[in-house]
Structures are given as structure tokens and as C-alpha cells.
Amino acid sequence: MSEQPKFRGNPKRTQAFIGLGSNEGDRLGFVQQSMQMLKDVSGIKVLECSSLYETEPIGVEYDKWFVNAVAAIETTLSCKALLDVVLDIEQRLAMMHGKEDTLKDCIPGAKRRRIIDLDILFFGNSIVEEEELRVPHPNVPFRAYALVPLLEIAPDFQHPTLKKTVTQLHESLSKPEIVYLYGTRGDKENRS
């Protein structure tokens, strides 16, 4: 039986964008901790991180402004494996800070308050339509909290299905929520 040839070379690398957000407790700290945890994962290289932004909450279930950012990464992981990583980071941060979230509670789209939320916004030009994973993230074209940080680090990235750049998507927002560069919002009494 002949031995299979071993191929050399680098594994496939995909550029992806991860949204990070928090509106519970130490919002800034949770976003920064989750970014560091992302950097510590084998198979992920953080290429760039946007500035931090304070964003107006959408809907009546939230009363505190969010801190948001977007990270551009390069990864050798599959999209599903990357989802497992972001869910694990959410879970570990929750446990480190006394929140008893279960992995089931961390499923994207679940209506609950989390200390940190990480979402795969884009995974290269991939289109994934599964029950627990939709990429590109369905809210990206409608949310300034994702588009403004993306504008900073990837204004020319093209949405794989809409065929519009991040800049074009941002320009087409009809009623965007308010987004401030972190530290520039005037209402200091609601900050933490």
C-alpha cells in the first residue's frame, strides 16, 4: 500500500469580521477582554480592530447604551468552528463575571441580556444559512452599530449577497441609530 503524498503549504485563510458589543456592567472592559480572548485563539490572527463606539440601544428591552467595535481577523478555522469560538468566549466571560449563562443561552439571536455579544458579521464571501448560523449577519445592512465600525476598517468590503460596499450600505440607512466615538457622548451620567 503506497503512502499518500503529504502536501505542504499554508492552510486556507479567510478574512472575517467579528462584531463585539456590550451594554451590561463594565461594557468597555467586556469588549476589551473579549478582544484579547479572540487574539489568544489558535487559528485566528486579529488584523485590525475598529475604535470603540457608544451606540444607542434599539428597542425597549435595553435602557443602557452599548459599547461596540468590529475586529477584522484572518482565520484558518471554518465558519462553524469560528462560531464555536465566539460562543465559547461569551460563555467564559459570563462565567468569569458571575453570570450563569448556559451555552444554549448564547445562541445568536436569543432575546436575553448578555454581558458580551460576539457576532460573525462576514466570513469572506461565504453565505451560510443554518438554524444557528447566518452569515453574512442579517442585521448588518440595517445597523449603524455594525456599519460605522466597519466603515473605519473596511469601507470597500462588498456584501456577498447585496453586492454593495460597506460605504454604500451605510449611505443607504434610512433611520440609523445614534453612534458616538467612545468618550464623546455628552450624557456622562449613564456611563460605566
CATH of the domain at 140: 3.30.70.560
pLDDT above 70: percentage of residues in the chain: 82
Cβ atoms of 1 and 37 within 8 Å: the answer is: no
Q: Counting every residue, how long is the chain? A: 192
- pTM reported for the whole predicted model: 0.85
Q: What is the CA radius of gyration of the chain?
A: 17
Cα separation, 146 vs 17, in Å, equals: 10
**What pLDDT score does 11 carry?**
76
- Residue 26 within any structural domain of the chain: yes
Q: Predicted confidence band at 106 (pLDDT cuts at 50, 70, 90)?
A: very low
- Could you tell me the residue range of the domain that residue 104 belongs to? 14-183
Instruction: Please name the amino acid found at residue 37.
Output: M
Q: How many domains does the chain have?
A: 1
At residue 52, does pLDDT exceed 80? Answer: yes
- Residue 86 within any structural domain of the chain: yes
| Tens of pLDDT, residues 115-156 | 899 999 999 999 999 988 999 999 999 999 999 999 999 999
**What pLDDT score does 105 carry?**
44
Q: What is the DSSP letter of 189?
A: G
- Residue 123 within any structural domain of the chain: yes
- Residue 147 within any structural domain of the chain: yes
- Residue 188 within any structural domain of the chain: no
Cα separation, 35 vs 56, in Å, equals: 21
**What pLDDT score does 124 carry?**
96
| Tens of pLDDT, residues 27-50 | 999 999 999 999 999 999 999 999
- Residue 100 within any structural domain of the chain: yes
- Residue 54 within any structural domain of the chain: yes
Cα separation, 127 vs 136, in Å, equals: 6
Q: Predicted confidence band at 186 (pLDDT cuts at 50, 70, 90)?
A: confident
- Indicate the helix (H) or strand (E) that contains 150: helix 144-153
**b/e map of 48-71 (b: 16 or more CB within 10 Å)?**
ebbebbbbeeeeeeeeebbbbbbb
Contacts of 98 (CB under 8 A, 6+ apart): none
- Residue 4 within any structural domain of the chain: no
